[in-house]
Amino acid sequence: MKKRLLALLSILLVFSVVLAGCSEEEAVETKSRLDVIKERGKLIGGVNADIPGFGYVASDGSYTGMDIDITRAVAAAVFGDPNAVEFRPLSAEERFIAVQTGEVDVLARNTTQTLSRDASVGLAFAPVTFYDGQGLMVRKDSGIETLEDLEGARISVESGTTTELNLADQMRKLGIDYEPVVFDSQDAAVSAYEQGSADAYTTDRSALVSRKTTLSNPDEHFILDEVLSKEPLAPSVKDGDSQWIDIVSWTVNALVQAEEFEITQANVDTFLDSEVPEIRRFLGVEGDMGEQLGLPADFVYQIIKAVGNYGELYDRHLGPDTVFDLERGQNSLWTDGGLLYSPPFR
Amino acid sequence: MANDELTTKQVSIPETAPPKTSIGVLGWLKENLFSSWINTILTVVFGTIVYLIVVNTIEWIFFKAEWYVISANFKLLMVGQYPVEELFRVWIAFTLISLLMGLSWGIWKGTMGHLTIAMTAIYIIVASLPFVLIETRIWLLVNIALIIATYFLGKRLTKFKKYILIGWFLMFPVTMILLSGFGVFDRVGTNLWGGFLLTLLIAIVAIVFSFPLGVLLALGRRSKLPVVKWFCVAYIELIRGVPLITILFVAQLMLPMFLGEGVNIDNVIRAMVGFTLFSAAYLAENIRGGLQSIPRGQFEAAEALGLNATFKTVFIILPQSLRAVIPAMVGQFIGIFKDTSLVAIVGLTDLLGMGKNIISNPEFLGTQMEVFLFVALVFLVFCNMMSYASRRLEGALGVGTR
Amino acid sequence: MNKHSSAKKTPFWRDKRVIPILLQVIFAILVVLAGVFFFTNALGSMKQIGLVFGYDFLSKMAQFDIGDKLIEFTSTDTYGKAFIVGILNTIKVAFIGIILATILGFIVGISRLSNNWLAKTVATFYVEIFRNTPLLVQIFIWFYAVFLSLPVIENSINAFGLFFFSNRGTAIPWFDLTSSSLIWLILFLIGIVLSFVVWRVRLKQQVESGKRKFPLYWATATIIISLGITWLITSEYPLLLSVPEIAPRGFIGGYTIGPGFGALLVALVMYTASFIAEIVRGGIMAVSKGQVEAAKALGLKNSTILRLVILPQAIRIIIPPLTSQYLNLIKNSSLAAAVAYQELVGVGITVLSQTGKSIEVISIIILVYLSMSLLTSLLMNIFNKYTQLVER
């Protein structure tokens, strides 16, 4: 026993010394991410598995959603094949480490772009794919109508999200005393709310809309009008490889630009004969747009052929024909008064 | 007295029990509690509790529970997202195991026989479930028939013990090749392994690999070389001092960082590595106990025979010490088997992780109890089988009575 | 001369004195190389993504709130304080868990040796079921299927108007301090000391005179008198019983146990108790028959035999494995992350995902657990020494 104690004590000491003595060392030479992916033969995408509309596992085990299709678009850009991708469901906590360690090539998992994530978590963000805001869902019969009514309430939230921080901020601002109930997955957080263990459930408004449809009695719940924060959701990659960041960014831009050009999955082939120089460059009929990124010349064509343009993606997963029926709102093209704006392909 | 029935019941037991011969603590307690008022109160209290639990449980199981959730997701719970068209590979692996089990039953009888019978019983129960697919049923029936046939075969093949043992050892690599492909078949990525299959695989890999590592660590800890010794001590105590979940986090989140860019190990393998490293530390402590139990005379006798250190350890010391700690090691293996459920926290879909996914499916709302009880039952059956085997071994090896 | 020639005969790689040292040097080099390899990689990949290794984030503002807390914590406090809240929560569940598991474990363990068939069977079933099911499955069952499936707060299950069970938490009566609580505590402690002295004195008299002096009655009387005096001084109750009441958003008064904490605690206690029960059973069974027979021959009462002959000897066998069960319980409390109870690992994971400091956070968690293991082993070692000293 005594020896064991001695052993434990010395481990403790050595461990602390090693950690304390750790200092920066020289950087390691690495291969470019694009080469790694090409060698592997498929893209690995970190996604959500429990937000219908964005990232969800259907009962047959396949993934569907906006974020899923954006990941597929990146695969189409690299390989010309939207199925050359493996999805890795990640919890909010795991996601950044998965990107940092290079376990996933691209993270499209309802991730809010923030300064600290960009600067100190080691992520690099592509353009925003969905402009969202944080909301709160409550029961209709609870009598809660504004944030002020939440005094003393239990609010369920997923841990490791900006949601958790915004909630704390807002409540501090309003001076409201509340009890956060923190879960490691959206499923658990919703389940606690639905069973009445929590008074409210908070996350991005789009996710609220989508989760509401999965409740047993959606009509008994409603989403507060107040928006707690700005939540621009964007795909991200590991910082430090500018070529790879560019590829993901311009994939997103291509989706938006295609909608602006009104090029769809169905009619993209007809545009190949277009005489408009911008469109010819865009689809890779002429120019070296793809080459500059290290991609095939027709990468934009492949993307649109595989998943369609941004508008199609939106309609397929969140639009009027789906259970969510979400307004385009801020997520319309700039030409329609929205925020989506692609820099020129030139 | 109010409950004559119950009191008379236990009155009759001491009468039939062997008389004054068993006066130990047991006998003492028996005499002390015999039909005293404490005994009566105990009976009433326990009787009421048992009655309430049993009645409510039975009512719930047969009338309230919605077992539909289990039958609809049976495939997911058992093998996860393993492709249906490749499932025959899992069945071949099972059939090979059945073959070996039947043969071993015939040759060794005893505990092996009991385990095989239990396994057959599980096959029969699964085959008679109303919702299983017809293919599943056919495979199961083939397995049952095979076990019985090979039992009779095994009875005649008692000389082939060695080959059967080799067969068991080969079973592990063969299963792995069958399941993952490895160039022989189409590759089935570990991301598709799930459900109970994944639980079993993680447990088996951890057990198979942690054993040699544990032996090395145990020997290292007793080594006379201070550097080796202190390294082993440090490793064992460090691992044993922290919760398994932190080791899994390290394996899942930090291993890729430590290995650097370019070395990509997928997350199932990482979990297996974590479990192996964890289990080895505990096994090492068990084995060390065995090493300590070897009397000095054995070492001296081995040295007198002129054996060098390696021969002495491999042929004299290790066999004896391992034999002494088999029950403790089986206990450790049961622990590992149960602990595999922790991978559900780091996002793998083992049996428990799959159950967690299922209850979040809007279609199966409010079926937590059914799903989790089913998961618990599966673990309970397998752990009980293992601990039964361990107790029998303990008796057969005479460890407890030494 | 001689020395020289022998050195010539055996080259150094076959020299029995050199080989071990050589081997160790090689081993040490390998270990160090592996360590350097791992750390270089880790630091390299951190640098590549612009992360700097360091613990200075601990003094930065946490920006998140924690639900269960023993000390004040708001989102303006530091990450360091968040860790302290987490550690305290771990200690809280471990401390209560160890006490309850020990009590339950001893009851079940002794029941397994009872001659009451029903008690024995129930205890055996209990042990077999709870020992052979994974703890995490048990935690999930308690959390999702029991604690979250309780009725909503308006329809709380009410036991005797004192206990309320709802999926928002379980409320139990609790005590509120009054102005004279401190006086009561001090006088009560004095009373205990006095009664102990009285007990020793009477016991000594009894042993010397050989006549019954009823030491226990005397000691009890001393305590009662001291409490009576306190009452006369303060004319107030020591504590006020606070009974919970249902309010729309939770319970008012009493003490509310959150579903996460409740599920974790119940699961930990039930699981660990099943192991402790086996240890207790083994310990009692290991006391030799001769001891009991000898005690009987001396004409001791049965309860006296259990108290003075069996338990003291059994305890000695029980303590080492009991210690490792306590350690297991502490380590297993880390599974709380799955049920929304923010203990050390739960807080750690939140901090980790907010700051991206994975190595630092995990190292803190490991350090804390190692220290707690060390501390528990130390305490149990002292206790073990104490029981061993009584031996002969």
A168/A229 Cα distance (integer angstroms): 11
Q: Do C27 and C163 share a structural domain? A: no
In a domain, C215, yes or no: no
CA distance A206 to chain C (A): 22
Q: Do C381 and C335 share a structural domain? A: yes
How large is the average pLDDT for residues B194-219?
92
CA B389 → CA B110, B148, B339, B397, C190, distances in Å?
Answer: 10, 21, 19, 12, 56
CB B77 within 8 A of CB B195: yes
Q: How many domains does chain C have?
A: 2
In a domain, C178, yes or no: no
Q: Hey, are the CB atoms on A59 and B261 less than 8 Å from each other?
A: no
Max intra-chain CA distance, chain A:
85
Best mutation target, B217, B360, B369, to test chain A (most A CBs within 10 A): B360
Whole-model pTM: value is 0.83
Q: What is the pLDDT of residues A282-304, one digit of tens each?
A: 998 888 888 999 999 999 999 99
A partners (3+ CB pairs within 8 A) are B, C
Q: Do C135 and C44 share a structural domain? A: no
B46/B38 Cα distance (integer angstroms): 12
Q: Hey, are the CB atoms on A50 and B253 less than 8 Å from each other?
A: no
The continuous run of DSSP H or E covering C367 comes out as helix C358-389
DSSP three-state, residue A228: coil
- Out of C35, C47, C374, the one facing A12 most closely (by C-beta) is C374
The upper half-sphere exposure of residue C122, i.e. CA atoms within 13 Å in the direction of its Cβ, equals 23
- φ, ψ dihedrals at A107, nearest 5°: -115, 115
Which pLDDT score, from 0 to 100, does residue B262 have?
A: 59
Q: Which residue of C has its CA nearest to A102?
A: C45
Q: Do C87 and C39 share a structural domain? A: no
Contacts of B252 in chain A (CB under 8 A): 94
**Chain B contacts in chain A segment 258-277 (CB below 8 A):** none
How large is the average pLDDT for residues B158-175?
82
Q: Own/partner pairs for B65-74, CB < 8 Å, 24+ apart?
A: B65/B369, B65/B370, B66/B367, B66/B370, B67/B370, B69/B358, B69/B364, B69/B367, B69/B370, B69/B371, B70/B370, B70/B371, B70/B374, B71/B129, B71/B130, B71/B131, B72/B131, B72/B364, B73/B354, B73/B358, B73/B364, B74/B129, B74/B131, B74/B132
How large is the average pLDDT for residues C270-298?
90
Query: Which amino acid is it at B306?
Result: G
Which pLDDT score, from 0 to 100, does residue B401 have?
A: 47
Closest CA to C326 of C122, C145, C96, C125: C96
Q: Do C374 and C331 share a structural domain? A: yes
How large is the average pLDDT for residues A239-261?
93
Q: Do C310 and C248 share a structural domain? A: yes
A141/A220 Cα distance (integer angstroms): 8
**Chain C contacts in chain A segment 289-328 (CB below 8 A):** none
- Out of A15, A97, A152, the one facing C250 most closely (by C-beta) is A152
CA distance A184 to chain C (A): 7
Which pLDDT score, from 0 to 100, does residue B7 have?
A: 44
Q: Hey, are the CB atoms on A50 and B360 less than 8 Å from each other?
A: yes
CB A102 within 8 A of CB A194: no
Contacts of B288 in chain A (CB under 8 A): none
CB A70 within 8 A of CB A252: yes
Q: Do C41 and C153 share a structural domain? A: no
**Non-local CB neighbours of B104 within 8 Å, separated by 6+ positions:** B112, B116, B154, B164, B168
- Out of B14, B241, B341, the one facing C373 most closely (by C-beta) is B241
B partners (3+ CB pairs within 8 A) are A, C
Residue C39 belongs to what domain range? Answer: 2-48
How large is the average pLDDT for residues A64-78?
93
The vertex-B223 CA angle with B219 and B225, nearest 5°, equals 145
Which pLDDT score, from 0 to 100, does residue A287 have?
A: 86
Q: Hey, are the CB atoms on C137 and B244 less than 8 Å from each other?
A: no
Q: Hey, are the CB atoms on C46 and B257 less than 8 Å from each other?
A: yes
Superfamily of domain B192-402: MetI-like (1.10.3720.10)
- φ, ψ dihedrals at B387, nearest 5°: -75, -25
In a domain, C222, yes or no: no
Q: In what order do the strands lie in the sheet with C157-159?
A: C157-159, C163-166, C169-172, C255-257
Q: Hey, are the CB atoms on C353 and A100 less than 8 Å from each other?
A: no
Give the ranges where A120-222 is alpha helix by DSSP (H): 162-174, 186-194, 205-213
- With a cut of 90, say whether residue B307 has pLDDT above it: no
Q: What is the pLDDT of residues B108-163, one digit of tens each?
A: 777 778 888 888 888 888 888 888 888 888 888 888 888 888 888 888 877 777 88
Find tokens 């160090």 and name the residue: C32
Q: What is the CATH number of the domain that holds C254?
A: 1.10.3720.10
Q: Which residue of C has its CA nearest to B342?
A: C136
Q: How confident is the model at residue A305 (pLDDT cuts 50, 70, 90)?
A: very high
Q: How confident is the model at residue B213 (pLDDT cuts 50, 70, 90)?
A: very high
User: Is A121 part of the contact surface with chain C (CB cutoff 8 Å)?
Assistant: yes
CA–chain centroid gap for C267, Å, is 13
Report which DSSP code applies to A197: S
In a domain, C152, yes or no: yes
Contacts of C42 in chain B (CB under 8 A): 254, 257-258
Q: Hey, are the CB atoms on B225 and C20 less than 8 Å from each other?
A: yes
In a domain, C260, yes or no: yes
Q: Do C94 and C14 share a structural domain? A: no
The continuous run of DSSP H or E covering B351 comes out as helix B351-360
Q: What is the CA radius of gyration of chain A?
A: 23
**Non-local CB neighbours of A265 within 8 Å, separated by 6+ positions:** A304, A305, A306, A307, A308, A309, A312
CB A198 within 8 A of CB A181: yes
Q: Hey, are the CB atoms on A103 and B359 less than 8 Å from each other?
A: no
**Chain B contacts in chain C segment 166-195 (CB below 8 A):** none
DSSP three-state, residue C242: strand
- Residue ranges and CATH numbers for the domains of chain A are 33-129+234-336 (3.40.190.10), 133-231 (3.40.190.10)
In a domain, C231, yes or no: no
- With a cut of 70, say whether residue C388 has pLDDT above it: no
- Out of B39, B46, B352, the one facing C137 most closely (by C-beta) is B352
Q: What is the pLDDT of residues A92-124, one digit of tens each?
A: 777 887 888 788 899 999 899 988 888 878 889
| β partners of residue C247 | C250
In a domain, C54, yes or no: no
Q: Which residue of A has its CA nearest to B270?
A: A103
In a domain, C198, yes or no: no
Per-domain boundaries in chain B: 4-64, 83-187, 192-402
Q: Do C266 and C157 share a structural domain? A: yes
Look at A155-169, B21-35, C46-60, C326-340 and tell me which has the smallest mean pLDDT.
B21-35
- φ, ψ dihedrals at A40, nearest 5°: -70, -30
The continuous run of DSSP H or E covering C124 comes out as helix C117-131
B78/B198 Cα distance (integer angstroms): 9
B277/B280 Cα distance (integer angstroms): 5
Q: Hey, are the CB atoms on B253 and A101 less than 8 Å from each other?
A: yes
Q: How confident is the model at residue A314 (pLDDT cuts 50, 70, 90)?
A: very high
Which pLDDT score, from 0 to 100, does residue A25 have?
A: 39
Look at B1-15, C219-233, C250-264 and tell me which has the smallest mean pLDDT.
B1-15
- With a cut of 50, say whether residue C1 has pLDDT above it: no
**Please, what is the average pLDDT of chain B?**
81
User: Is A31 part of the contact surface with chain B (CB cutoff 8 Å)?
Assistant: yes
Asked if the interface predicted TM-score (ipTM) of this complex is over 0.85, the answer is: no
The token duo for A37 is 């992916």
Q: How many CB pairs (< 8 A) connect A and B? A: 67
Q: Do C251 and C111 share a structural domain? A: yes
How large is the average pLDDT for residues A212-230?
87
C181/C186 Cα distance (integer angstroms): 9
Q: Hey, are the CB atoms on B246 and C365 less than 8 Å from each other?
A: yes
Compute the CA torsion angle A79, A84, A90, A96 (nearest 10 deg): -20
CA distance A97 to chain B (A): 6
Contacts of C369 in chain B (CB under 8 A): 241-243, 246
Q: Hey, are the CB atoms on B372 and C137 less than 8 Å from each other?
A: yes
Q: Hey, are the CB atoms on C115 and B10 less than 8 Å from each other?
A: yes
Q: Do C43 and C85 share a structural domain? A: no
Q: How confident is the model at residue A24 (pLDDT cuts 50, 70, 90)?
A: very low
Report which DSSP code applies to B315: I
Q: How many contiguous H segments (helices) and E segments (strands) does chain B have?
A: 20, 0
Closest CA to B71 of B115, B16, B113, B126: B126
Q: Hey, are the CB atoms on C53 and A92 less than 8 Å from each other?
A: no
Q: How many CB pairs (< 8 A) connect A and C? A: 171
Which pLDDT score, from 0 to 100, does residue A194 have?
A: 86
Q: Do C140 and C277 share a structural domain? A: yes
Catalogue the E-assigned strands of C218-374.
Answer: 239-242, 245-247, 250-252, 255-257
Q: What is the pLDDT of residues B260-304, one digit of tens each?
A: 665 667 778 889 999 999 999 999 999 988 888 888 888 888 888
- Out of C41, C152, C350, the one facing A28 most closely (by C-beta) is C41
**Non-local CB neighbours of C90 within 8 Å, separated by 6+ positions:** C330, C333, C334, C343, C344, C368, C372
- Out of C340, C352, C374, the one facing A181 most closely (by C-beta) is C340
The DSSP secondary structure of C5-56, one letter per residue, reads HHHHHS-GGG-TTHHHHHHHHHHHHHHHHHHHHHHHHHHHHHHHTT----SG
- With a cut of 70, say whether residue A12 has pLDDT above it: no
Q: What is the pLDDT of residues C235-281, one digit of tens each?
A: 777 777 778 887 777 787 778 888 889 999 999 999 999 999 999 99
- With a cut of 60, say whether residue C4 has pLDDT above it: no
User: Is C353 part of the contact surface with chain B (CB cutoff 8 Å)?
Assistant: no
- With a cut of 50, say whether residue B9 has pLDDT above it: no
DSSP three-state, residue C98: helix
Which pLDDT score, from 0 to 100, does residue A217 have?
A: 85
Q: Hey, are the CB atoms on B249 and C362 less than 8 Å from each other?
A: yes
User: Is A159 part of the contact surface with chain C (CB cutoff 8 Å)?
Assistant: yes
Burial A207-238 (b: 16+ CB within 10 A, else e): bbbbbbebbeeeeebbbbeeebbebbbbbbbb
